[in-house]
Structure 1
């Protein structure tokens, strides 16, 4: 078994006292001080995340938009330059190979960011289009840093060396180009926490300097470095799916509540035929809010009133923001109505839980 890879910021994390874990084949910081403190900092002020393990691909040339229309479930060709779009890469059975974000950088220039653990699967899916478009895997050339939280824009605007003309006018799911110490900087107003925030792409050689500059500028605003543990509870509260939990090749988009992402009116795309003929009675993703303090975890059974197993938890935790256990689970459609009373089997104890509309948490501004 190969050793996990490290990001260009690994030594920086170690110097900050981070604890590490293997995530998608990468040795990533799981926390620096406290999961709860890092979670609350993102909700109240800002958190700084290393997301350099993500995979990045560029598609350029006259066929780029058409290729992405065929490869992805969404309609990419109608995107405007400067915008970002969440989409899905499906297999022929309609299962989710990965969820991605596409950025249109020009008429014939797109950036696609995918999950670290699915890097090879996404690269293989794109290989079929080589010859129709120029596809470049730039994952090993760039670092990604996320600033997330209600004070994220303030932090970014006051970071020395960062020049971002137009930052004040940048909308959600949009991007702009700028510089950091004279080097090209790509900044997108996207994130995975349920808060406002930005994701910054910079050449590897400048990652540590950018991280340090952001951390120093953000400290007076309450920004802290944050690890994977807080990132997971933040995205869970925001009802955001994680591949390998709420998404997989065994799960269709509609089951995960992502039917809106699929443009079934396109002439063709990978997986369309399978989706058109799919059953409408498959298990669907729901939110569960539980009593007490004991949280259901991935793999725990969901029970009906008679004690019969009707589903399974995919992600769960005691919500730091809300103060009670929340979880996502797949259950048959007849149990999916908000307000439905179910139970979670937490190590042999039946914990009452109520089906709740996702997300559990939504920012107010």
Structure 2
């Protein structure tokens, strides 16, 4: 128990200043005559010292410390014939600490007890002879001091709570910024992963199919190099295209002070014909159909449609075992629809890989939707991407409505 009191006791500047007040009070006794003898003087000083020491525990136990200070003061003043300021100063400090700690009920109760004790001592115990130790003005001043101390302690507490809340909000905002930064980095990595998957997956799949077919034909008909040379030329051109698109995709990772990539950025809908031609070189018959009036398509929508067709053809050449495919591009008001059908074996349940998931994410990121399903005659990828509605031209005023007097 004693060890806990020692750990809770805190020396601070307030203890030092009130200690100086206590020393001054004690020194003033040398110039005054106090009734009651030496025992009363020693007992009174011990009570004052005990109340002063209780202030060292006010940070750990504010209400009990204030109670001890009040008790020592209530015992001291009736015992001593010489009033000192130390008990009152110590009680004011203890009252302020309780208010700052938020114990407003205890603070009000302690202040009310003090005022009732003073009123009782001045108006009841003193008697009708009129001799009072504390006049009405002093009572009003003491009450004003109590109210001021309580209000100041409460104001300090409110300010500390406000500063703490502001600090917590700043920390929360900083954590939110970090979370958003990590989320943005994750989304950017996913976007780049989709781009690399679409760029490399399509072209390398075509290279693999064409190279495997060329090796197979060369093994069956040795000495005939015409088909082998054509296949190698196709591999050369397709790998060149893959490198070009890869450089353009990785261009977003270049530093600001580096030169911009010289290769053009990956195109969009206008290059779907090239995709069909490259897929046709592998033996797949590809038909491209376009309906509707082509509007001005935003680059990100055009690129997404291109990537969806590219990934669909990649899946067809790698997995579908199809011999024909149809690409339909439909321009409708406010919507671009891209449908890729094939006559292959379709996809088994649960066999849809990351390519289809990437296409879905790409369409969803732009506010659209994508479905991929077996049709009974093959497999279908159906993507719907939103297009901004064209602004209506302003109505022209009738010729007779324009003129002057």
**TM-score (structure 2 length as normaliser):** 0.23
Pick the structure with more strand per residue.
Answer: 1
Which is greater in Rg? 2
**TM-score (structure 1 length as normaliser):** 0.25
Pick the structure with more helix per residue.
Answer: 2
Q: Which has the higher contact order (CA 8 A, sep 6+)?
A: 1
